[in-house]
Amino acid sequence: MKDKRITKLAERLIHHSVQLQPKERILIRGHINMKPLLKELIDETYRIGAYPYVELEDDEISRHLLKGNVKEQLDTLSQWTLRKYTDIDAIIIISSEEYDAELADVPAERHRLHGEAMKSSTLFYVNNRRWVLLNYPTVRLAQKAGMSFRRYEDFLLNVCTMDYGKMEVALKPLKQLMERTEKVRIVSPGTNLTFSIKGMPAVICAGKNNLPDGEVFTAPVKESVHGRVAFNTPSTYQGITFRDIVLTIQKGKITKAVSNQNSKMNEILDVDEGSRFIGEFALGINPYIMEPMDDILFDEKICGSLHLTPGQAYQEADNGNRSSTHWDMVLIQRPEYGGGDIYFDDILIRRDGIFMLPELSALNPNLLK
């Protein structure tokens, strides 16, 4: 029996996220195991008179390609990919991970080569095309989340089809406040960090580029970040799961980075100069996402969280940092995770995950649901 939520999700992606119009061309990228959603997306695209194109992916094949890639090969691939993105109006990217360590034995240098080569084509579609990224439920993702597959499937489909229009309205006062703010201070167990966001745009994320969604992001002034931050969620990057990450930052640069994988972590942070500077700062507010799942699409939107990102800044909130790295690291500040405060210009705006200012109260979980 067909799950009506899959149909609803396809409609949400086509109409709310990428806002596809008749005669436009859309690329749908994903794995073969997300066929039910793929079929719904194709049917909905045809229904409105637009043109779907499909690109299927396989992590095992990607691993074999990555382990042998060279610059000349990747330059050709980048040119082909850029031409492809030039020819489309929108793109839907769906991950349906079966095994998260598939790429763990690929050397960091190969990841760097691939990231550098594909950066121009990726930035082109991110900055010039309508796009959205989401996960499709798999047994592996359910295991990472600590849920049965059925429970995880219900959770994912419910959170991806929530009322993102309501969320978008509720996030506007936070965006306006961030754009008026100069100094940010973050205090949590093991964390005391300050930086400036003066003059930086703040961007609402409410179902247009990610599903699930629920954040406002900006970027710190590049060399203003100073202090120490201890993250309390696991973070899988390049197929390796990092835990107990602690960063010491001086004049914007990560001068010390420790975790359960010190050597590998510092190898990643040394791939280029920009990897040791912060390219993004965001607050997560989704009331349906409460616990870390080691899945950044979910974890960066956790209710009462924030994340900081060593590496590339987004064009919409650009502090000038350039890198092949973009590594979101999440700190949850609700009481059961140790609590914590966020100050904007020395005014307490959030304590233990709850917004304190009246104009931000609609973002608290009891009202946003």
**pTM for this model (two decimals):** 0.82
How much is the pLDDT for 117? 80
How does the average pLDDT of the chain come out, rounded? 93
Residue type (1 letter), 106: V
Q: Into which CATH architecture does domain 4-160 fall?
A: 3-Layer(aba) Sandwich (3.40)
Per-residue pLDDT band at 194 (split at 50, 70, 90) = very high
Instruction: Give the residue extent of every domain in the chain.
Output: 4-160, 164-368
- Residue with the bigger pLDDT between 300 and 102: it is 300
pLDDT at 1 over 60: no
| Tokens read off for 3 | 């799950």
pLDDT at 368 over 90: no
Q: How far apart are CA 213 and CA 300, in angstroms?
A: 9
Q: What is the pLDDT of residues 251-272, one digit of tens each?
A: 999 999 999 999 999 999 999 9
> What Cα–Cα distance (Å) separates residue 336 from each residue in 290, 304, 332, 352?
11, 11, 9, 9
Lowest mean pLDDT among 176-185, 293-302, 347-356: 293-302
Q: What is the pLDDT of residues 69-85, one digit of tens each?
A: 788 888 898 899 999 99
| Tokens read off for 219 | 């970027």
Say which residue the tokens 């005391």 belong to. Answer: 192
Q: Is residue 329 within 8 Å of residue 339, measured between CB atoms?
A: no
Say which residue the tokens 């997300």 belong to. Answer: 34
* Biggest distance spanned by C-alpha atoms of the chain: 57
Say which residue the tokens 């699930």 belong to. Answer: 212
Say which residue the tokens 């507010």 belong to. Answer: 285
| SS3 (DSSP) at 80 | helix
Residue type (1 letter), 87: D
What length is written for the chain?
369
Q: How far apart are CA 89 and CA 74, in angstroms?
A: 24
Q: How far apart are CA 310 and CA 327, in angstroms?
A: 6
